[in-house]
Amino acid sequence: MIPNRKAIGALLWSAFLFISSSQSTPAGEFSKPTNTVGDANCFGELQFTSHVGAIEFSRNEVYDFYYQYSSHSGHDSVHFGKGFFVPLLEATLIDHDYFLEVTTMGGATVYVYRLPADPDTYSSLNGRHTVFKLGDDSYRRTTEDGFEFHYRLGKLIRMQTPKGTDVLFTYDGEYCKEVRSSTGAIVCTLTKTNETSALFSTARGRYELAFQDHPSSNDPEYKAAGLPPLPTLKSIRWPNGEETAFSYPMDENSSEIVMHMSYADQTMECAWSRNSGRLIRADGVSYEISPLSRHVDYEAERIQTGVYSIRRDFPDGSWKNFRHDEDGGFSEYEDSDGEHIRTHFINTRGKVFNFVRKRERIFPEEAPETFYEAFYDTEGNLIREINDDTVTWYLRPGGVPDTVVQPGDNFMQLDEEGRVVRARLGDETRTVQWLANGSSRVLSRYTWGEVALHYWDSNGNPLPFPSQEKFEERRSFE
């Protein structure tokens, strides 16, 4: 049993090292939205985020570039057309008087609220986003991961990256035709070549865009208004020659809009209500949704309130159901295998807002069983986790002292950069030495007396043991 347990531990440890030592750019501002279950959002509409490529603000600042697709009637990109939203080119700030609605670079929506003591300062409920009103229709937003954004008349005109690179946005009306870095490099350009095509370019390559008419152009109300057809993306030809294609089987008499999406040998079909935009099926999965409604609730000081549920029925007959209570601060997950989990979130304003507080197993006609609890400090750092009978402490400089950790508890001791330097996981105690290139050496001591030394590169992959390594060097590393 010991060798197997050790092998599994080494595998998990390599993954943990990769997470804690990753040298990639922080993902906070460029994170995808989290309001979806499967391909449905909390409003019951089709919504998915897809990767287009990478953009470079400077040589050492590379970020993923996304677009969103949605059946929401309000998704109408001036760049990619009906149904699309391109966060990098279309990030906005909307003033709702006592609070502001902001779009992040990943496409998530953040609400920041006016502070009573300073009416020109706004903060998100978790404090990770702060906005300062600089004058009429002029704002500056800062994030916890070091970005700074400047808005004018609701549009993003300039940003500064965590490493100090200035990025400027150039518009032709509502159309963002160029994003340029202060280094002189072009981050990206978008150029219309004619009415049915455009060219999107970054330092990583050229993307040819082709357009078509969206099926909503055939809605009786739209046609009766005498408006021109609504353009939408037909295809993206990638730098490597591959193509992502979108097509709409036209049936003006159908109550559904159907969209086919394909890339290489992969395909997906989605269908939604022509009138409401409510998702019906996506990629072979049927959806039954009880959604939130879009409205501003001034008493609750937020734009989303209430309860929503999303049930998914799969082709093999299995099902999954997700229910979230926005006001109660908990979610429930249930599936056809009998699993029923309730997750409670922290609802109070502060750095731990919306963090997981505990998880319970729900049983018919029995009291819930708590199997997970989490505890945080005032800065939002995880202090302690209880997962079934396992207790894990997270020790940071100036944080919880070692004396609090009980003999049977696991612990992760972190340095000022948040990297693990010492840990106890069950039968194993590990000491980590971080090298200048981001790789690490891990000395493991097991309760049965064995000592092992492992090497990992900066991506968490195991490295071969150097032949010149001496046992004395192991001892000096203890």
DSSP state string for 35-48? -EETTEETTSBBEE
Q: Is residue 7 part of a domain?
A: no
**CB within 8 A of 449, min separation 6: which ones?**
none
- H/E element, 88: helix 87-90
Q: Is residue 248 part of a domain?
A: yes
Give the residue from 66, 64, 86 showing the smallest Cα distance to 76. Answer: 86
- H/E element, 76: strand 76-77
- H/E element, 13: helix 2-21
Q: Is residue 283 part of a domain?
A: yes
Q: Is residue 44 part of a domain?
A: yes
Retrieve residue 164's tokens.
């100090």
Which structural domain range is residue 276 located in? 36-291
Assess whether pLDDT exceeds 60 at residue 303. Answer: no
What number of other Cβ atoms are within 10 A of residue 239's Cβ? Answer: 13
In the prediction, which pLDDT does 98 show?
84
pLDDT tens by residue, 274-284: 989 999 999 99
Name the range with the highest mean pLDDT among 9-13, 27-31, 36-40, 400-404. 36-40
Q: Is residue 431 part of a domain?
A: no
pLDDT tens by residue, 191-236: 998 889 999 999 888 999 999 999 988 887 888 888 888 999 999 9
pLDDT tens by residue, 362-413: 999 899 999 999 999 888 899 999 999 899 999 998 888 888 888 889 999 9
- Alpha-carbon gap, residue 214 to 236, rounded angstroms: 16
Count of the separate structural domains present in the chain: 1
Give the residue from 1, 17, 118 showing the smallest Cα distance to 444. Answer: 17
Q: Is residue 85 part of a domain?
A: yes
Q: Is residue 407 part of a domain?
A: no
Q: Is residue 203 part of a domain?
A: yes
